[in-house]
Chain A
Amino acid sequence: MAGWTTHNGKAVALPRANVDTDQVIPARFMSASRAEGYGGYLFADLRDGDPDFPLDRHPDASVLVAGPNFGCGSSREAAVYALVDAGIRVVVAESFADIFAGNAVNNGLLPAAIPDAGAILDALGDGTASARVDLDGGTLTIDGKTYAFDLPKIWREKLVNGWDDIDLTRAHADAIAAYRKTRAKTASWAWPDGAS
């Protein structure tokens, strides 16, 4: 996965609170393999029958601004795949569900938690605005106004470097092997009994 430090794009508002991952992608689409692409399933049931859906009015938007507690519910990473495959690079919200935010970062999608996201939603209305995101500075500039977002250091590093955790972790193979040996000695009950 390629890392990134700045992004310039068009922002659009989805003024809904508690957008759960069942809404981001309904369960019936989740058997596709990643190579088949998930972009077409994004918000499938919300868009269907709503000719005015924000992303249909502005299909080239790459910054999605939404209501609080975005991404709650199921841990399905397919929700992130759908956003990324549809060209979304940044989701802005007052708050995010923990599992969704972790999944996003693992796929190069920034979950920008901004306390003032409600004001951005109001300012955007049905329209769009140009947005600029700077990961190093931790800022989103939208229509000339700048907002700070709080991003754990490890997440910033991952987004900037496009790090793959598996490679990082394999560099610690010795420490893992040593831990495993100690645990097998001090808590041998932690290995499943061979029964049945």
Chain B
Amino acid sequence: MSVTMLDKLWDAHEILTNDEGASLLWVDRHLVHEGSHHAFAKLAERDLPVAAPELTFGVADHYAPTRHRDHVDNADVAKMLDRLSRNTDAHGIRLFGLRDPRQGIVHVIGPEQGITLPGLLINCGDSHTSTHGAFGALAFGIGATQVAHVLATQTIWQTRPRSMRITVEGALPKGVTAKDIALHWIAKLGTGGATGHAVEYAGSTIRALSMEGRMTLCNLSIEGGARFGMVAPDDTTFAYLDGRPFAPKDDAWDAAVQDWRALASDAGADFDREVRIDAGDIAPTVTWGTTPEQALPITGTVPDPDSFDGARVKAAREALDYMDLVPGQKLSDIAVDQVFLGSCTNARIEDLRAAAAILKGRRAKVPGIVSPGSMLVRAQAEREGLDRIFTDAGLDWVASGCSMCVGMNGDTVPAGNRCASSTNRNFRGRQGRGARTHIMSPVMVAAAAVTGHLTDAREFL
């Protein structure tokens, strides 16, 4: 019988099923961050230990200050960071804390450290946990009650999602990236388009993507409603992981690779849903509204709300109102006040290199922040001289964290300001109260910085 990768991963982790059709699954890796404080409080209420501290890793990222790390001024931020270190200390959990040279965003450092591997079930109290599926892992975000459950039992109850395959074939046109593949399918299917499904990305375009690109794509799966995004592991995956600190070594590595090669969906496996995309149809894409589905190629114009159906008409009208845009306006005419290059979506070394290639020898017309996905990415970028390119262009080169993606650490976009951002959410107020966010790829952010308005990055390539 032909089996999907989803079913192979699921069956390998299923401890039992109950009468209601839910599966109790084993959790191989559990990643916690500052936001996990509710879960630790639940554990404390019941006086329970953490079941498997050796499989649990703590990361300071959501509240991590990106400047002045020696002394944290903001009392709220200090409280959150302190709570995380006290909770991880108390339970013997390894923490990548604020001053650890390996600190960074949880979805960047998991793979970077080899904590993320193919064939694992990975949970984190964060919706972008789907990122880790790029390695052929069953990785999904959970809420605080479930985080407490995983801490206490190292297991999780789940109902098997339906399977969906998005096949992308052909060479990506110049200037088109994994970010654009994601925005393209979400604009087509909607933010709830893949709800209830686990998405497997397949096809020649996906096989040709680097691990960085695959992570970007899987990261954004949740913006289309899918809790799970995954790519079958292959030589690109193994080359990325070989030698990472927490990855298996020697004989264990060989045994692992052999097991991982068997994870791919069998030829002829049936999916509940199939979507096919021709890579040649994808253009550099930007959002014009307040959900990731409100996106169009940069060559387009702001749409007329009446061109949509049903509830989308009103949603588009409200979005244009919030974004202060009018139908018919050319997207490339929209002026921005600032840029942000960062987040678990697009702040890996490849992203920084691509943006720097455009900024090299140029000045940014608007201010902006560049926050690498991890302190190791930051160090690598500095070895390559990328930091100088960014600062020579007039952008701020800061430390790693979630930063302006969510603004919890105080890095926010002022009300009314418009930001070209490499992040994953353009929700109202996401980057700060009243902030107007346009999401796009790192090269598009760099191009917007240079011209001061949304710009087709292909003009610089």
Chain A interfacial positions (CB closer than 8 Å to B): 15-18, 20, 22-23, 26-28, 30-31, 33-34, 45, 67-69, 72-78, 80, 95-99, 102-103, 106-107, 118, 152-154, 157, 165-166, 169-170, 172, 175-176, 179-180, 183, 187-193, 195-196
**30 A-B pairs with C-beta separation under 8 A:** A16-B318, A18-B291, A28-B407, A31-B63, A34-B41, A45-B429, A69-B192, A73-B127, A73-B427, A74-B126, A74-B127, A75-B142, A77-B145, A78-B144, A95-B192, A98-B195, A99-B141, A118-B311, A153-B20, A154-B21, A166-B46, A166-B149, A169-B153, A176-B26, A183-B26, A187-B119, A189-B255, A191-B55, A192-B54, A196-B246
Residue count of chain B within 8 Å CB distance of chain A: 79
- Residues from chain B with a CB closer than 8 A to the CB of A102 are 142-143, 146
Known: A20-B291, A74-B425, A153-B21. 19 other contacts (CB 8 A): A17-B315, A22-B427, A23-B427, A31-B79, A75-B125, A77-B144, A80-B143, A96-B195, A98-B195, A152-B21, A165-B146, A166-B46, A183-B26, A188-B252, A189-B248, A189-B252, A190-B28, A190-B119, A196-B245
Chain B, range 395-435, C-beta contacts under 8 Å to A? 406-408, 425, 427-430, 433
B379 within 8 A of A: no
A179 to B76, CA, bound (A): 41
Picked from B248, B314, B433, the residue with its CB within 8 Å of the CB of A193 is: B248
A183 to B119, CA, bound (A): 12
- Residue of A75, A77, A175, A179 with most partner-chain B CB within 10 A: A75
- Residues from chain A with a CB closer than 8 A to the CB of B312 are 17
Are A165 and B145 in contact, with the CB atoms below 8 A? yes
Are B141 and A75 in contact, with the CB atoms below 8 A? yes
Picked from B15, B35, B142, the residue with its CB within 8 Å of the CB of A99 is: B142
B40 to chain A minimum Cβ distance, whole angstroms, is 11
B114 to chain A minimum Cβ distance, whole angstroms, is 7
Are A176 and B154 in contact, with the CB atoms below 8 A? yes
Chain B interfacial positions (CB closer than 8 Å to A): 12, 15-16, 18, 20-22, 24, 26, 28-29, 35, 37-38, 41, 46, 48, 54-55, 63, 76, 79-80, 114-115, 117, 119-120, 125-127, 141-146, 148-149, 152-155, 157, 159, 161, 190-192, 195-196, 225, 227, 245-249, 252-253, 255-256, 259, 291, 310-312, 314-315, 318, 406-408, 425, 427-430, 433
A77 to B253, CA, bound (A): 38
Picked from A27, A165, A166, A189, the residue with its CB within 8 Å of the CB of B48 is: A166
- Residue of B120, B192, B259, B314 with most partner-chain A CB within 10 A: B192
Are A99 and B227 in contact, with the CB atoms below 8 A? yes
- Residues from chain B with a CB closer than 8 A to the CB of A190 are 28, 117, 119-120
A72 to B224, CA, bound (A): 9
A149 to B276, CA, bound (A): 32
In chain B, what residue has the closest Cβ to A106?
B145
Q: A26-B433, A193-B249 are in contact. Are A152 and B20 (CB under 8 A)?
A: yes
Are B195 and A69 in contact, with the CB atoms below 8 A? yes
- Residues from chain A with a CB closer than 8 A to the CB of B407 are 27-28
A68 to B406, CA, bound (A): 24
A193 to B252, CA, bound (A): 10
- Residues from chain B with a CB closer than 8 A to the CB of A76 are 35, 143
Picked from A16, A107, A195, the residue with its CB within 8 Å of the CB of B246 is: A195
